[in-house]
Amino acid sequence: MNNSKSKSPTINKIGTVKRKAVRMSEEALIKVELLSENPLPLVVKPTVEGLNLADWAINNREFIDSKLSQHGGILFRDFEVNGVTDFEHLIGSTSRDLIESVAEQNIHNEFAYAEQNIFFHNEYSDRQIFPLKIFFFCAKPAEGGGETPIANCHKIFQRLDPKIRERFLEKKWMLVRNYGSGFSSTWQKAFQTTDKAVVEKYCRNSNIEFEWKDNSRLKTCTVLPAILEHPKTAELLWFNQVAFFHISTLEPAIREALMALDEEFPNNTYYGDGSEIEASVLDEIRHCYHQETVSFTWHSKDVLMLDNLLTAHGRAPFVGKQEVFVGMSESFNNQNCCKGA
């Protein structure tokens, strides 16, 4: 029989016992919640202080993409976001490509003054090629207002009268723009060139009809699908700027000023065959957007990531200085998911 006593572990010197580093799982680093009963947007928050959003996103792109398709938008709140540089890194870590440089929202919308509302739209849905993802970064909230309201485009499609849906499926929609007249931008500024040949090449490649009025004015006309099928979920989506660019959506004072001018409107929309869209149809379209509106107050360093196909956005009037930056990624051609003739 062995009578030797078992020895208890001893500590010879303070500090000789090393602590093992505890690595939290990716799931434990965040928590998810909703702002309300509406699933849009999903709110993602860190469970530890100082978690950098761009760094966290690098290892969690699959999770982010899955939740984005499911909810249509993700609001990242309380993460560490060190200015525009981190914002750009976030876009890079969650996307194939950055379509254009990050810009301040109120510069991106050059004619949207602080006291004016920007109606709902899907970014670049007035073009054949548009971004699949759009990001907003709040560097400085306004003193009041300035929300970025959002709305689910599949639910908007479902709310619309079936007769209206069928009409736009059949006819599509038309956007007519007049550059260099009234309140509109010049064609040189809009196309970022002074070379007419460059403009003409762009228009031909983008299926845009064009007409030169004189050296300072250009008229364009494009017909686009009003309803698209989501490439991942196969949901039918109300994806256009029919209401956004129609003159009846403008605030009364601006609309009256434009109508007083003896020239064509800067922008207006029609059915794809060129016929007028009835006032009752436009009223219903706007009503459906408002019925699906979700809004929240911006917090400093908030980042909102939207599926640009599934979710439309706008901007509320605001008071004081506001800094919200916008970035877009992942170019997509509407011919890959258009519905209708």
Helix (H) or strand (E) holding 271, with range, is: strand 267-271
Are the C-beta atoms of 78 and 313 separated by less than 8 Å?
Answer: no
Rg of the chain over Cα atoms, rounded to whole angstroms, equals 25
pLDDT of residue 96: 84
pLDDT one-digit tens code per residue, 195-219? 999 999 999 999 999 999 987 899 9
CA distance 258 to 232: 41
Which CATH architecture describes the domain 28-112+123-151+295-336? 4-Layer Sandwich (3.60)
Query: Is the pLDDT score of 139 beyond 90?
Result: yes
pLDDT of residue 334: 86
Cis peptide before 41 (omega within 30 of 0): yes
For the record, the structure tokens of 175 come out as: 């956007």
End-to-end, the C-alpha distance of the chain in Å comes to: 94
pLDDT one-digit tens code per residue, 154-166? 999 999 999 999 9
pTM for the whole structure: 0.88
Mean pLDDT across the stretch 180-197?
88
Query: Is the pLDDT score of 49 beyond 70?
Result: yes
Cβ atoms within 10 Å of 115's Cβ, excluding its own? 10
Show me where the domains of the chain are located. 28-112+123-151+295-336, 156-288
Angle at 164 between CA 162 and CA 165, to 5 degrees: 65
pLDDT one-digit tens code per residue, 212-258? 998 789 999 999 999 999 999 999 999 999 999 999 998 888 888 77
Are the C-beta atoms of 227 and 179 separated by less than 8 Å?
Answer: no
pLDDT one-digit tens code per residue, 165-175? 999 999 999 99
Which CATH architecture describes the domain 156-288? 4-Layer Sandwich (3.60)
Helix (H, G, I), strand (E, B) or coil at 27: helix
Phi/psi for 159 (5° steps) reads: -75, -30
